[in-house]
Amino acid sequence: MNGLLTSRDREIWRLTLPNIVSNISVPLIGLADTAIAGHVGGDAGIGAVSIGTTIFNIIYWNCGFLRMGCSGLTAQAYGRGDREEVASILTRGLTIALFLSAVLLLSSGVLIEWVIGLFSSPERVEAQVREYVWVRIWAIPASVSLFAFAGWMIGMQDPKSAMIVTVSANVINVAASAVIAIWMEKGIAGVAIGTVVAQWAGVVMSVVIVRKKYGREFEGYKLVKSLKVEPFRKFLRVGGDIFVRTLCIVTAFTLFTVVSSWGGEVVLATNTLMMQLFVLFSYIADGLAYSAESIVGKLIGAQDREGLRDSTRRLMAWGVVVGLLYTGVYLMFWREILTMFGPSEEVLVRAGGEIGWGIAMPMAGLLAFILDGVMIGATQTRWLLFSVAGALLSAVVVAFLMQLSGSEQWLWPSFSTFMVMRGVLLVPGYRKIVSCRTQ
């Protein structure tokens, strides 16, 4: 197999595989936390951890701009061989992370109570949610800082170190949560303490890796210079575009769930299960997208025009291979995959009538994943913002027109439109990048 791959193909997969492992480890740890919560708190504990985790996911998803901003800017500085700027970007990322953490902690009282109020949950569950959340908030500075560290390592063409931190922190999370919640009998609070311990352990590991592996990058480094206004302004512009783009994506996925709930329990369960097919695809597609960030940023920094064109073409080709592979597996085994989640026969029957949309999602979404990574690596983030906003508008138009025509089956067509248009609207930006007219 090695003989069939070029050096660029091998580089793509050297960067992609650690990212895939990191992506897959996160939901597995979520399952473990849920199991521990069920053991110590019963059904109420499971519900409490589910709601609590949702609250923090909302916070962290919107802090994802730190990872993406750091990866693109760092990769370009790495490609230029600008060691001072490489060190400065990490400093800026961590400075913003600590500022955000302070804001979140100071506003946590109002924010958390407001979000808890959005959920209609029994009093016993609500009490355990508060117990969980008010402990876990102390992981916020660590969790947000880890976004900056991970993005910086990916930009340094070193996703393996980011993977080591992520997987190690997740293993510590499970072990600490089990010991504190079960053996030390701290209950739901113990699950939260385990997460706090794990996130801070991840920060310690990140600092150690940066010091030992990248100490040379910080030789002659001047802190004051890294905190100048103009570089910060560029970082915040890139981050701001990504932040608004992320809000649009969160809006699309939230609306999908909300509209699904209007159809009743069976429709909601069916759409939730079919969405899992998209989630499974995203673990691999995101790995390729992260590779695109690293490779494109490095090649733009090095001003390697031919390498940029060749690498982006190969990333696209691998995206198509992965998309076709998932499509084939889903086409043959969709029922077996959905059955693993334990749905009723009624849900499976309904899914069978709409499964074509689930099977089509990998091919519908692959262009958006790959080009997202290309744009982030090139720090052409305004394209990301406009493409997602345009895709969201397109999806709304499709839903409106289908409803106007009397069709009740408009949710999946509109969501598919959103994913397809995200990619299509990035094509002009992609052409601009590979023609090296990015400045």
Among 171, 194, 227, the domain boundary falls at: 227
Last residue of a domain, one of 227, 251, 278: 227
Residues above pLDDT 70, as percent of the chain: 95
Q: What is the mean pLDDT of residues 3-8?
A: 80
| 120, pLDDT greater than 70 | no
Ranking 175-184, 320-329, 337-346, 425-434 by mean pLDDT, the lowest is 337-346
Provide the terminal-to-terminal Cα distance of the chain, rounded to the nearest Å. 39
- Looking at the structure, do residues 150 and 260 belong to the same domain, yes or no? no
Please indicate, yes or no, if residue 408 is contained in any of the structural domains: yes
188 contacts 132 by C-beta, under 8 angstroms: yes
| Pairwise pLDDT comparison (284 vs 56), residue with the higher score | 284
Does residue 233 form part of some domain? no
Residue 232 resides in a domain: no
With a cut of 80, say whether residue 381 has pLDDT above it: yes
Instruction: Look at residue 128 and tell me if it is in a domain.
Output: yes
The reply to whether 82 and 176 lie within a common domain is yes
**Judgement on whether residues 248 and 381 belong to the same structural domain of the protein:** yes
Q: Are residues 213 and 157 in the same domain?
A: yes
In tens, the pLDDT along 302-321 reads 999 899 999 999 999 999 99
Residue type, 193: I
**Are residues 55 and 177 located together in one domain of the fold?**
yes
User: Same domain for 178 and 250?
Assistant: no
What's the mean per-residue pLDDT of the chain? Answer: 88
Q: Report yes or no on 376 lying in a domain.
A: yes
Flag whether pLDDT at 367 surpasses 60: yes
Determine phi and psi for 399, rounding to 5 degrees: -60, -45
Beta carbons of 365 and 281 less than 8 angstroms apart: yes
- Using CB atoms within 10 Å of the CB of residue 129, give its burial: 0 to 12 exposed, 13 to 18 middle, 19+ buried: buried
Task: Please say whether the beta carbons of 56 and 188 come within 8 A.
Answer: no
pLDDT of 202 > 60? The answer is yes
Q: Is residue 386 part of a domain?
A: yes
Do the domain assignments include residue 98?
yes
Residue 304 burial (C-beta neighbours within 10 Å; 0-12, 13-18, 19+): middle
What is the pLDDT, as a whole number, of residue 295? Answer: 96
Count: domains in the chain: 2
Same domain, 147 and 260: no
Q: What was the pLDDT predicted at 78?
A: 94
Q: Does 151 score more than 90 pLDDT?
A: yes
Question: Are 125 and 242 in the same domain?
Answer: no
301, pLDDT greater than 60: yes
Per-residue pLDDT band for 276 (boundaries 50, 70, 90) equals confident
Whole-angstrom distance, CA of residue 439 vs CA of residue 380: 9
Per-residue confidence band for 3, with pLDDT thresholds at 50, 70 and 90 = low
Q: What is the mean pLDDT of residues 161-178?
A: 93
Q: What is the pLDDT of residues 71-89, one digit of tens each?
A: 999 999 999 998 888 999 9
Residue 144 host element (H or E):
helix 140-155
pLDDT tier at 148, thresholds 50, 70, 90: very high
- 88 within domain boundaries: yes
pLDDT of residue 291: 95
Full-model pTM:
0.90
For residues 205 and 251, state if they share a domain: no
Q: Are 37 and 136 contained in the same domain?
A: yes
Residues 6+ apart with CB under 8 A from 18: 159, 160, 162, 163
pLDDT class for 48, splitting at 50, 70, 90?
confident
The better pLDDT of the pair 198, 38 is held by 198
Assign 118 a pLDDT band (cuts: 50, 70, 90): low
Dihedral angle of Cα 273, 279, 284, 285, to the nearest 10 degrees: 130
- Tell me, yes or no, whether 259 and 206 share the same domain: no
The pLDDT value recorded for residue 439 is 45
Domain residues for 139? 1-227
| Side-chain-side CA neighbours of residue 124 (13 Å) | 7
**With 90 as the cut, is the pLDDT of residue 361 above it?**
yes
Domain stops at, among 206, 227, 248: 227
Same domain? 306 vs 364: yes
Q: What is the pLDDT of residues 237-261, one digit of tens each?
A: 998 999 999 888 888 887 887 788 7
